[in-house]
């Protein structure tokens, strides 16, 4: 049974706890009252702190005081829990939030002394101009501040599980709500997408090139007709294409890292595999021809070990870095004098064309990998207006 007393040494009061250790021996712990409660704490506060500790022992809620800082715990949490349990891209994002935002503001505070007021003050600071870690002018978006808070709250929840703190001081705090402004959706009309694909079929990198056709024409074709994401296309494997059943299983993704080469992940955005069915036989024929040319290229390189099983690789036989596709796409747009859009906007182009041509919303959502069809309709509200007009016009001539 634990016991204790208070004593004074010099100008400071101490709580002295008498505990039983694992060997059945008495273990004495000295706790500075001044350090626990502040420089003005005296005899009365020391006795109250002793009663508090003994009551917590009795209730089984006692946590031994420690001097670990928020910085020390967060770095330990990233290494011991986050890195082994999440995707590398998620870990990289968490690490950036911890090192660039949380530690500079809260890292010096002892973990056990972190209070709601400090966290609220931290969130307020992050909403002011100059809070960006990249040094650019302007403020962090509310969504970014919310994400930083989410990381901090998750870390503190683990500190409770690790019995370093009794309760999570971030619990009950409401972070800023994300802004509801909508970014203007960019996409190509059907004729513009057709012009781009036709230009790629006639493309020549040099006058000496015997055959026409851009090497990555099949990649752009899938982006526009199926709406796969950039990472999903670059991570697509031949084994995921069933030429007999006319399906493509989207189950892996190639993602960029802060440093080093892109990383192939076995799961896609949202963590769900999906199967795209009823692939046009003409598209499958183009993929087969692409596969044959790719095999010849790898053979010419004389390094069969370079074959990663990927549908799209660079001219050296290696995976294509996502940023290289963005750069290439921007150059092609400029060359063919088409409206400037991002590679990701080819996905919006695919969705828009499908919806405008009468494909039902649920089917489009499933093909694109949207969990909620309602979200898809919200994104493509410009199309729903045309769909509503078409629905109204369908009864013309009946009355």
- Domain regions of the chain by residue span: 3-59, 70-161, 190-391
Can you give the pTM of this predicted structure?
Answer: 0.67
pLDDT of 25 over the 70 cut: no
Mean pLDDT of 38-60: 82
Decide yes or no: CATH 1.10.443.10 for domain 190-391: yes
What pairs with residue 255 in β-bridges?
Answer: 263
Phi, psi (5° rounding) for residue 99? -75, -35
Say what percent of the chain tops pLDDT 90: 40
Q: Which two tokens stand for residue 139?
A: 């403020």
Token pair recorded at residue 325: 């596709």
The stretch 176-180 carries a mean pLDDT of 75
Rounded to an integer, the average pLDDT of 122-143 is 84
**How far is CA 121 from its chain centroid?**
26
Tokens 């273990």 belong to residue: 27
Equal CATH topology for 70-161 and 190-391? no
Q: Are 106 and 118 in contact (CB under 8 A)?
A: yes
- Check residue 24 and give its pLDDT: 59
The residue with tokens 């074709």 is 221
Q: What integer is the mean pLDDT of 223-232?
A: 93
**CA 188/CA 158 separation, integer angstroms:** 47
Q: How many residues does the chain have?
A: 399
> In the beta sheet, which residues pair with residue 69?
110
Residue 207's pLDDT band, with cuts at 50, 70 and 90, is low
Classify 70-161 by CATH class.
Answer: mainly alpha
CA distance 143 to 148: 9
Band of residue 327 on the pLDDT scale cut at 50, 70, 90: very high
DSSP state of 275: E
Q: For residues 106-122, give the mean pLDDT.
A: 91
Token digits of residue 20? 């039983």
pLDDT at 119 over 90: yes
By the 8 A CB rule, do 131 and 119 touch? no
pLDDT averaged over every residue in the chain:
84
Is the pLDDT score of 341 beyond 80?
Answer: yes
Q: Which phi and psi angles does 261 have, rounded to 5°?
A: -70, 165
Provide mean pLDDT across the span 363-369: 86
- Whether 4 and 18 have beta carbons less than 8 Å apart is answered as yes
The CA distance from 61 to 56, in Å, is 5
Instruction: Give 3-state DSSP helix, strand, coil % of the chain, rounded to 5.
Output: 50, 10, 40
């Amino acid at each position: 049974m634990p016991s204790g007393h208070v004593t004074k040494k010099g100008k400071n009061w101490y709580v002295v706890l008498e505990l039983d250790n694992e060997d059945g021996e008495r273990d004495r712990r000295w706790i500075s009252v001044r350090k626990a409660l502040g420089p003005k704490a005296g005899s009365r506060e020391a006795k109250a702190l002793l009663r508090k500790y003994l009551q917590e022992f009795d209730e089984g809620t006692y946590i031994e005081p420690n001097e670990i800082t928020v910085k020390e715990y967060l770095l330990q949490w990233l290494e011991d829990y986050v890195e082994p349990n999440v995707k590398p891209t998620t870990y990289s994002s968490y690490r950036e939030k911890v090192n660039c935002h949380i530690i500079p503001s809260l890292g010096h505070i002892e973990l056990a002394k972190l209070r709601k007021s400090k966290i609220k003050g931290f969130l307020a600071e992050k909403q002011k101009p100059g809070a960006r870690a990249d040094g650019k002018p302007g403020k962090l978006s509310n969504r970014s501040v919310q994400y930083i808070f989410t990381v901090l709250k998750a870390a503190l929840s683990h500190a409770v599980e690790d019995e370093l703190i009794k309760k999570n001081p971030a619990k009950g705090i409401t972070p800023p709500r994300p802004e509801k402004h909508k970014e203007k959706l960019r996409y190509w009309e059907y004729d513009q997408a057709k012009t781009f694909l036709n230009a790629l079929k006639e493309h020549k990198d040099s006058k000496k090139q015997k055959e026409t056709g851009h090497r990555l024409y099949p990649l752009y074709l899938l982006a526009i007709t199926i709406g796969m994401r950039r990472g999903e296309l670059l991570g697509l494997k031949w084994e995921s294409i069933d030429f007999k059943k006319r399906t493509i299983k989207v189950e892996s993704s190639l993602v960029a890292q802060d440093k080093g080469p892109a990383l192939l992940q076995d799961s896609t955005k949202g963590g769900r595999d999906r199967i795209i069915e009823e692939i046009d036989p003409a598209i499958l024929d183009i993929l087969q021809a692409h596969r044959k040319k790719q095999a010849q290229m790898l053979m010419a390189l004389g390094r069969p070990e370079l074959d990663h099983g990927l549908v799209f690789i660079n001219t050296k036989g290696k995976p294509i870095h996502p940023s290289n596709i963005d750069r290439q796409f921007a150059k092609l747009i400029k060359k063919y004098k088409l409206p400037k859009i991002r590679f990701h906007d080819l996905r919006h182009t695919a969705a828009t064309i499908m919806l405008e041509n009468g494909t039902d919303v649920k089917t489009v959502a499933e093909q694109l990998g949207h969990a909620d069809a309602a979200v898809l309709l919200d994104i493509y509200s410009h199309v729903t207006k045309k769909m509503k007009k078409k629905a109204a016009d369908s009864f013309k001539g009946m009355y």
